[in-house]
Amino acid sequence: MNKITKWFAGNKLAASLLAPLILGTLILGFLAYQAWDDYGTASADYTSKASQLVKLSQTKPFPSQDNLSKLEATINTEQSSLDALIKDLQKYQVPSFADIGKAKLQDRPQRFQDALRIEVTRIKSLAASAGATLPPGFYLGLDEYENRLPSQEDVRILSKQLTILSWLGELLATHKDLILSEFSRSTSEMLAKKDSPKKTPPALPGKVSTPYENACSMKLSFRCNQGSFREIVNAVSTAPYFLIIDQLLIRNTSSEPPRRDTQPPTAASPLDGSTPIQRLPIIVGRELLDISLNLRGLEFPDQGSSTSTNLQPKPEAR
């Protein structure tokens, strides 16, 4: 003991360094032990939960009447929610343009062509008044019916497509300085359907049927300013028809970003002599946008009980 005391007295620097080293070693040892203990606890808990999961995945619910009742209650609740959703979506049914669908079957082709011609003239007049530019030969995407009558079977869906196309044409034509380069539609959708829809075959057990129809698919390409584009997208999202944006491509007409040293516009002095309000500078520049937009219109026809989705068949109690 005297030797250790003498050594500490003669080696004060080493003794002062040895004490923190011993203290640090003890602290690290305690932390390592605690971490190992936590790891062991977590590992044991994981192993227990994993074994329970494997056991549950390999078992089947006991086929009792109580389990069957719970399953039937779940199916009925889901079916009721689905029926309520479909009923709410049926407000997006696309009406026949100008009540063409109420006309006599033999009169519908001519009424459709006349209504189309009048609507195209109206949209062109709106564009001229607002300062928008329409492409040459613009005919609301229905160019083939400018000089040709559609078949009686096709008028039903064409009149619905004209309702959507007219709404979109008016939306674009009322924006100043908008330059429309493409306004087309898909010609392969639903034209094979007759005026009296065929009865849909019953869905196979376990197969989910879709309660909607594709009313119209459109492709739009145009150039506009940022404000007009924002208004157009907002209008599409709140349209009276169920429109889905399948594809949206946006390209700035200017490939160079605005200079950082660009001075913000100076605010004009108010006439009443008060302090002028400094407006925020344009962050993304004043360039125009080239837009390519693919839209799809859906409708949810009222098919009575046939709109209900076929869920899994109810199991029988054993």
Domain ranges across the chain: 79-195+207-255+283-305
Helix/strand/coil percentages in the chain, nearest 5: 50, 15, 40
Identify the DSSP state of 183: E
- With 70 as the cut, is the pLDDT of residue 119 above it? yes
- With 80 as the cut, is the pLDDT of residue 79 above it? yes
The token pair at 110 is: 């001519």
Q: What percent of the chain has pLDDT over 70?
A: 73
The burial class, CB within 10 Å (0-12 / 13-18 / 19+), for 96 is buried
- With 70 as the cut, is the pLDDT of residue 42 above it? yes
> Measured between alpha carbons, how far is 176 from 231 in angstroms, rounded to an integer?
12
The token pair at 230 is: 């924002």
| CA-based nearest residue to 218, from 178, 251, 174, 171 | 171
> Please, what is the average pLDDT of the chain?
81
Question: What's the Cα-to-Cα distance from 44 to each of 37, 41, 48, 55, rounded to whole Å?
Answer: 11, 5, 6, 17
Question: What's the Cα-to-Cα distance from 256 to each of 253, 290, 305, rounded to whole Å?
Answer: 9, 15, 58
Entry pTM: 0.62
Secondary element (H or E) of residue 222: strand 213-224
> Measured between alpha carbons, how far is 318 from 285 in angstroms, rounded to an integer?
72
The token pair at 39 is: 């790891």
Highest mean pLDDT among 83-87, 88-92, 99-103, 175-179: 175-179
Domain 79-195+207-255+283-305 is found in CATH 1.10.274.10: no
| Contact yes or no for 140/165 (Cβ under 8 A) | yes
- With 50 as the cut, is the pLDDT of residue 156 above it? yes
Give per-residue pLDDT as tens, 237-296.
999 999 999 999 999 987 776 666 655 555 555 556 666 555 545 545 568 999 999 999
The identity of residue 1, as a single letter, is M
Q: What is the pLDDT of residue 299?
A: 85
Give per-residue pLDDT as tens, 286-308.
689 999 999 999 988 776 544 44
Which is more confident, 221 or 301? 221
pLDDT tier, 316 (very low <50, low <70, confident <90, very high otherwise): very low
pLDDT tier, 23 (very low <50, low <70, confident <90, very high otherwise): confident
| Contact yes or no for 191/154 (Cβ under 8 A) | yes
The three-state secondary structure class of 187 is: coil
Query: Cβ of 84: how many Cβ atoms within 10 Å?
Result: 10
> Measured between alpha carbons, how far is 146 from 114 in angstroms, rounded to an integer?
9
The three-state secondary structure class of 253 is: coil
Angular region, 176: left φ>0, alpha ψ -120 to 50, beta rest: beta
| Contact yes or no for 295/248 (Cβ under 8 A) | no
